[in-house]
Amino acid sequence: MRLYLVRHGEALSQDEDPERGLSATGMHDINKVASHMAARGVAVESIFHSGKKRARQTAEIIAGAIDVKKDVFEAAGLRPEDDPSIWAGKLSGMEKDVMLVGHLPHLGALATRLTGVRGLTLGTGQAICIMLGKDGSGSVKWTVAPQGI
């Protein structure tokens, strides 16, 4: 299966928006990444996000650009300090391609756990495609950041 990990786009400061939604730059960057994914033919069964406003907005923008079979869902275990083993366990039972939209340090720790590559991290708006085997181990297939498009 293909797993897409996406870090939310640039967020507003807490003074500007207490819920820290996406900034204009964040929306622009995510639209660029979403268009790039659509051009690559990215399709997923579902998109899961942490529930934080900036992650939900990121997930919704991407869902508007790519083929999503089911829908966008808020899911537990995707917040910044959550244990990556929660989603590592959930993913081992999945066969369909999915996307997780979240935050650091969680996404970096999850990517490292799945691939064994130390120090994997994601910039704001960056996406990583990981090919997961049935044994739960994965390899990075590609990555895209807004600055590289």
Q: Which domain CATH number covers 87? A: 3.40.50.1240
Of the pLDDT bands very low, low, confident and very high (cuts 50, 70, 90), residue 93 is confident
Q: Is residue 135 predicted with pLDDT exceeding 90?
A: no
> What is the DSSP-derived secondary structure letter of residue 10?
P
Q: Is residue 119 predicted with pLDDT exceeding 90?
A: no
Of the pLDDT bands very low, low, confident and very high (cuts 50, 70, 90), residue 120 is confident
Number of domains in the chain: 1
- Written as six digits, the tokens of 11 are 């967020």
**For tokens 């907005």, what's the residue?**
57
Q: Give the Cα separation of 99 and 95 in Å (integer).
A: 13
Q: What is the mean pLDDT of the chain?
A: 96
Query: β-strand 127-132 against 138-144: which pairing, if any?
Result: antiparallel
Q: Is residue 121 predicted with pLDDT exceeding 90?
A: no
In tens, the pLDDT along 49-90 reads 999 999 999 999 999 999 999 999 999 999 999 999 999 999
Residue 76: domain span: 2-148
**Residue 64 CA to its chain's centroid (Å):** 15
Neighbours of 70 (CB within 10 A): 11
- Computed on alpha carbons and rounded to an integer, the radius of gyration of the chain in Å comes to 14
